[in-house]
Each structure stands twice: as C-alpha cells, then as structure tokens.
Structure 1
Amino acid sequence: MAPRILRRLIAVAPPGVRRMLAGALLDVKGLPARLSDPKRRAEPWAFVHNVGDGDFVAVGAQLVRHLNDHAGLKPGDRVLDIGCGNGRVAEQLSPLLAEGGGTYVGFDLSPAGIRACRRRFARQPHMTFEHLDVWNGEYNAAGKLAESEVVFPAADASVDLAFATSVFTHMRMAGMRRYLAESARVLKPGGRLAFTAFSLTRGREGSETFAFQPFDETSMIVDPRSPERAIGHWRPAIEAAVAAAGLKLTASHNGLWAPPSDYDGGQDLFVAVKG
C-alpha cells in the first residue's frame, strides 16, 4: 500500500518533495537488502539525496564497469566525478584507486550527499569531496551559483578521467556547454571524458518511459513544470558542444531508455578525448 501512495504523491509533488518521496520509495525497496546484509546498513538513505533508480551497490558496480569497458579506467588514474551524489560510484572506485595509486575528487550540488560521502570515506585520503552550490531547477532551486559560472574543483590539465553520469540529463544545453568546457580545462592531454545523456535523433526522440516534448532548438523535456526533471538533447547539438569545448568524440552507445540499444546502460553513453 505504501509504495502506491508514494507513487501518487510523487506524480503531483513539487521537485524537492518529489525527489524526497522518490528516494523514500527506493529506500522501501532496498530494506530487504539492508536487513539481510549487515555491510549494507551504512549505505546512504535515498530520501536524503535521491540520485536515481536502482540498487546502490549494483548500479555503482555497473557504472564502474562502463568506465572500464568504454573509457579506459585505470587504477592509477586521477579521476573527477562530476555530480558524485551520495557516492555509489565512489564506493566502487575507492579500492581500485587505492591499490593502483590513483586519486578521486567528486563534487555535487547536494550538501547532504557530500556530507554522506565525507563521513563514509573519512579514512581514505585518496578520496576527496567538494560541495558546489549550483542552481538546478530539479535538484537545487535555491542554488546561488549559475551553471554558467561553475569552476570544477581541479587544476588545469590534472585529470586523467572525468565522468558525468545522469548529469546532462538534468541540465539545459547552456549548462552542458559550460561543463564540457570545464572538463576540457581540467583534463590532461589524452584525458578522457565519459558522460551520459538522452541523445535525440529522428525516430528516437522518445519512449514509453520518457515522453519528450519540444522545449527549445537543442532540447526536449518530459515535464514543462520542471524542465530539469529530464532533458533530452538533439545529437547534433551534443556533438557541436563537445567539439566547441575542444574535445574529440571517440565513441557513443545507445542506452536502454529507447530502442535500439547497444549496451546495458539506461542512458546513452559518450566518450570524448582531449587532444
């Protein structure tokens, strides 16, 4: 009964409340795993900062596998996690990087997510987390920093691998362009950027789950009341933004959100390299 009530409330709630309720629903689904496995009882609660569907451990492991398979993840990499949330990818990356001498910096607009990560990784000096109070209509409507003003917490040419998972699916194209430019700034020559997006092409501009509708010349949205809830960008606009940032697109894969797909991720995956 409780999950059904939550779903009804989620459908009509404003963004902040919707995220909390959706996270609570994930927590309800995840209770059996927490109760049966003592190691999982310290996992962050999604109602505090909901970063998406799925199991905390399984989704994190899947995303790291994608980085390994498609973006050349290496144990000695200096890694930047753009939108680290509550640390589900960090959880999987930490032992790999510790063994290989790599380092990790993650940042997010959620203070609760960053606090959770700092507590969880407090004794792991190779893992660093930063809070940026960036405005986002869905996740941080009171944010003081415009997306166009964001400066990533990394020095020029210091990062081997940067990744943004389910970030550009909640950002308008102007913000995405800024994030791509910042990615290019912090990447070393030959450094890689992996990111996910809803890449729209004629005949693949929507699905049963994501009923996109027109928004502007580069993008489509699911919910006119909250455009950042889910945004799809036309593929030519994505390619142009990558090129304008000084990056070279080297691979792309269609996700499961709309057929046809050619890998097991939910969103479309892109990999770009700094020359």
Structure 2
Amino acid sequence: MILRRIARFAPPGARRAVVGAIADLKGLPLRLSDPVRRRDPWNFWHNVGDGDFLAIGATLLANLQDHAGLRPIDQVLDIGCGNGRVAAHLAPVLRAGGGYVGFDVSRRGIQDCRRQFANEPHMHFELLDIRNREYNARGRVAEIDTVFPARDGSVDLAFATSVFTHMRMPGVRRYLAETARVLRPAGRFAFTAFAIEPGREASAGFPFQPFDATSAAVDARYPERAIAHWRVALEAAVAQAGLRLGDFLRGHWTTGGEYEGSQDLFVAVKP
C-alpha cells in the first residue's frame, strides 16, 4: 500500500514499474505452482494494468466474439497489443485461416510477443515508435502522424482495448481515421473507452476531473495515465472518420454496466 501511494506521485515510467513489480510479487505463488503461468509476461517490464493475464485475455476474446463478430477466417488488427494478452487467446482461433497483426509502442511488449508466438506464422507483431507520455515519452512519431502497419482495405476486424483511455482526442481522431483506411467494407472496429455521459462522469476508482473541451483526466499532471472522453465527442469522431456506430455497451468502471467489461465498449462498422 505504501509503495502504491509513493508510485502515484512518480513519473509514469517509474510508477508503472513499481505497480507492475507489486503485481509480479502477488502473482509469484501462482507462477511457481503452475508451469503454464511461468510464460506470463513480467509486469515490471511492461505493465498493462491490474488483473489476471490469462483471465482478462479470455474475457476480451469473448467480447470480440459476442459483440464484434470475430470469425476464425478474419484478418485482425490489434491496436495496442501490449504483451499479447488478447493475442494469446486469438492465436488458436485464427489458425483456421485467419491472420493477425498487432502493434504497440512498447519495445519490451513487442519483444515478448515475438518470443511467445515465434512458432505461429499467422501472428505478426510490429513496433511503432509513437510518442505517448504514459507508455513511450521519447517516441519519435506523434500520435496525429501515426500510420498503421496494414494496407488499405485489408482488415476484417480491428480492435483497441484500453488504448483511447491513454490518448487525447486529436490522437483518437487520427487512430479512427487510420482504422477506417485499413478496414474492408463491412469491416468492424471494437474499441473501449471511458465514455462520459451525464450521471456517469466519474467514480471512486476513476475520479475524473475536466481536462479540456472534450475530455477529463484522473491526474492533470499526467493526463495520459487515464483519460475519459465525452461520449458525444467519441461518436462524432467515429462519424468523422467515415464509420457507422453500431453497438454501445456501458462498462463497470462506474454505475450502469451492461456487459462483461470494465470500460465502455463501442463497435463501429465501415459502410
């Protein structure tokens, strides 16, 4: 508890390393007792959030199947693949004829993924040196200049899990535009966010405070730690990118959860 309190006031890299080390210590008994769990990535090197690596990945896969129409033959783009939490569950599903490209700003995360899936020829991972104050403060490429590692109209299903929760709205708009570019007609895009609505503006775990015209942040010093966007602004950005919004399901980060997920889930379709 003391380390967590200290970490709250540390710069992003140090904070995430400390919190990741705490998670690694808590998970050490399971890692030692279960040979399968010894392959779990170390959070100290690339901390993508609290929770059980395998269990959360399984839940995210189920959400893609239940709400975004994931098929074994899909060409999938994982926007912000981290250390392979979802990829670990997608790999056997897509062996039937699908394909996967995941990219991330974390060099350590991509290295872990490439090792983990070295014998899976349909699984590909790319490192993009995109600048983000929370995960890659020294990145050379601005979020608004990002180009996804996929050809025009080559992707059936794209998804971004807890990515827009660490990005300001100009970067979100760029990512939506790039998603629209790479999707095939009728391709789907599932993404999660903290979507602020009247009456759902903050919670005990996420005490968001106004940050700019479209967004709120938990920590004004380091906004990318956790950013919420007004739902109307996200929906407008989806439309501006040329995508059609399908489902919207509220998560359990605050009151009114409607599906098995912490963050709010959007599913958009390319006409």
Which amino acid letter does the alignment assign opposite residue 270 of structure 1?
F
Q: Does 1:19 align with 2:19?
A: no
Give 1:195-274 correspondences, 5 Å limit.
Answer: 195-274=191-270
Residue in structure 2 matching 1:129, options 125, 130, 133: 125
Q: TM-score, normalised by structure 2?
A: 0.99
Q: Does 1:156 align with 2:152?
A: yes
Q: Does 1:33 align with 2:15?
A: no
1:80 aligned partner: 77
Distance in 2, Cα, partners of 1:142 & 1:38: 36
1:107 aligned partner: 103
Shift of 1:7: 1.2
SS of aligned partner of 1:249? strand
SS of aligned partner of 1:272? strand
Q: TM-score, normalised by structure 1?
A: 0.97
Deviations 1:81-140 (A, max 9, x none): 000000010000001101x21100000000000000001111111000000010111111
Distance in 2, Cα, partners of 1:133 & 1:82: 13
**For this pair of structures, how many residues does the alignment match?**
271
2:88 aligned partner: 91
SS of aligned partner of 1:107? strand
Shift of 1:8: 2.4
Sequence identity (%): 65
2:46 aligned partner: 49
Shift of 1:167: 0.1
SS of aligned partner of 1:193? strand
Distance in 2, Cα, partners of 1:97 & 1:56: 20
Distance in 1, Cα, partners of 2:190 & 2:235: 13
Which amino acid letter does the alignment assign opposite residue 220 of structure 2?
P
Deviations 1:219-264 (A, max 9, x none): 0011011010000000110000000000000001010101011112
Which amino acid letter does the alignment assign opposite residue 23 of structure 1?
G
Q: In angstroms, what is the RMSD of aligned CA positions?
A: 0.7
Structure 1 stretches of 4+ moved >4 Å:
none
Q: Does 1:170 align with 2:192?
A: no
SS of aligned partner of 2:86? helix
Structure 1: tracts of 5 or more residues without a match: none
SS of aligned partner of 2:179? helix
Structure 2: tracts of 5 or more residues without a match: none
